[in-house]
């Protein structure tokens, strides 16, 4: 009989929490190694992808109920190499989900870091996070410092945000746009298969005939207005939007509920 391990419980708790605020999410395990199974890829509601990296740690004060509780997250060389490789290989935002566990598990908390925030402290042998009572932010300590005045303040309730909301925050960062890969328009014409059905411009769903709603696809500074059926949940994009999404996501990553409709471009 296979035995359960600690990470099954803790990573399972993170998965359950993020699915609570993203009910349509279907995390896909990226690393199929037996251990530690801590890296996932998620498609957002607007057909974008992000990578999630899980970690957990116990309180440094032996679980006592103090106003300030610190957690030490150790990142091995293998962890750092994985994160760096994912950042270089994929054009997806990366988020670190850090479970700050308590002896009474219901008192545990999940902190979400952007990859750029992690980069600010990745040289540390271990990352120290301090949770302060009644504060809406946590402290992320810089290398060699334990002073609250010399720490990064990180929003505390990010676990309650959807992936799309987190992606919007990342897209606003100039550093992300600097490193973002450009789309090669010369290869665009081959991205729609010749047998792909293209539906006529229609304000009603061609499948269930219910009125379509606007759906914003966040694409950096050039957001795209697509269409969504609120009943059958099918999403419709025009040919240009489909090409951009397929070029960005890859040929095998287009979600099955995405269809092409011949409607004109409209800015958000």
Apex CA 81: angle with CA 76 and CA 87, to 5°? 130
Higher-confidence residue of 1 and 184: namely: 1
Confidence (pLDDT) at 179? 52
Contact 68, 138 (CB under 8 A): no
Range among 8-17, 37-46, 198-207, 210-219 rated most confident: 198-207
Name the DSSP class of 128. E
Q: Are residues 101 and 115 in contact, defined by beta-carbon separation less than 8 angstroms?
A: no
DSSP 220-257: TTS-EEEEE-TTT--EEE-HHHHHHHHHHH-TT---TT
- Cβ contact 36:9 at 8 Å: no
What's the pLDDT score for residue 251? 47
91-113 pLDDT, tens digit each = 788 999 999 988 887 789 999 99
Dihedral angle computed from the Cα positions of residues 154, 159, 165 and 185, in that order, rounded to the nearest 10 degrees: 90
pTM of the model: 0.64
Query: Model confidence over 116-171: pLDDT tens digits?
Result: 999 999 888 889 999 988 899 999 998 777 788 888 999 999 999 988 888 888 87
Residue 21 burial by Cβ neighbours in a 10 Å radius (0-12, 13-18, 19+): middle
């Amino acid at each position: 009989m296979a035995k359960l391990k600690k990470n099954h419980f803790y990573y399972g708790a993170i998965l359950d929490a993020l699915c609570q605020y993203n009910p349509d999410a279907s995390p896909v395990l990226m690393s199929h190694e037996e251990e530690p199974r801590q890296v996932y890829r998620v498609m957002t509601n607007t057909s974008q992808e992000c990578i999630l990296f899980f970690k957990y740690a116990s309180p440094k004060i032996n679980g006592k109920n103090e106003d300030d509780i610190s957690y030490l997250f150790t990142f091995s060389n293998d962890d750092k190499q994985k994160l760096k490789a994912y950042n270089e290989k994929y054009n997806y935002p990366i988020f670190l989900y850090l479970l700050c566990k308590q002896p009474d598990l219901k008192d545990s908390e999940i902190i979400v870091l952007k990859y750029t925030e992690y980069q600010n402290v990745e040289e540390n042998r271990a990352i120290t996070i301090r949770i302060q009572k009644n504060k809406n932010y946590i402290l992320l300590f810089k290398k060699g410092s334990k002073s609250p005045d010399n720490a990064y303040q990180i929003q505390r309730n990010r676990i309650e945000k959807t992936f799309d909301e987190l992606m919007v925050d990342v897209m606003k960062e100039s550093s992300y746009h600097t490193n973002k890969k450009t789309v090669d328009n010369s290869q665009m014409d081959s991205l729609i298969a010749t047998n792909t059905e293209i539906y006529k411009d229609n304000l009603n769903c061609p499948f269930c005939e219910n009125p379509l709603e606007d759906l914003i696809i966040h694409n950096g500074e050039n957001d795209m207005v697509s269409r969504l059926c609120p009943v059958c949940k099918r999403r419709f994009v025009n040919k240009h939007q489909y090409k951009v999404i397929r070029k960005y996501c890859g040929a095998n990553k287009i979600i099955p509920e995405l269809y092409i409709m011949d409607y004109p471009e409209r800015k958000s």
